[in-house]
Structure 1
Amino acid sequence: MTLETEIRDALEASFSPTVLAVINESHLHAGHAGDDGSGESHWRVEISTAALDGKSRIAKHRAIHAALGEDIISRIHALSLQIS
Structure 2
Amino acid sequence: MTMQAEIEQRLRKAFSPEELEVVNESHRHAGHAGDDGSGESHFRVRIRAAELAAMGRVARHRAIHRALGDEVTARIHALALDAG
Q: Alpha-carbon deviation of 1:53?
A: 2.0
TM-score, normalisation: structure 1: 0.97
Q: RMSD of the TM alignment (CA)?
A: 0.6
Runs of 4+, deviation exceeding 4 Å: none
Q: Could you tell me how far 1:68 is from its partner in structure 2?
A: 0.1
Which residue number corresponds to residue 17 of structure 2? 17
> Which residue of structure 1 aligns with residue 54 of structure 2?
54
Structure 2 equivalent of residue 6 of structure 1: 6
Unmatched segments (≥5 aa) in structure 2: none
- Distance in 1, matches of 2:54 and 2:18, equals 16
Query: Does the residue aligned with 2:54 lie in a helix, a strand or coil?
Result: coil
Q: Any unmatched runs of 5+ in structure 1?
A: none
* Structure 2 residue matching 1:21: 3-state secondary structure: strand
> Percent same amino acid at aligned positions?
58
TM-score, normalised relative to structure 2: 0.97
Q: How many residues align?
A: 84
Q: What SS does the aligned partner of 1:33 have?
A: coil
The CA deviation string for residues 31-70 of structure 1, in whole angstroms up to 9 with x for no partner, is 0000000000000000000011221100000000000000
- Structure 2 Cα separation of the partners of residues 69 and 43 of structure 1: 15
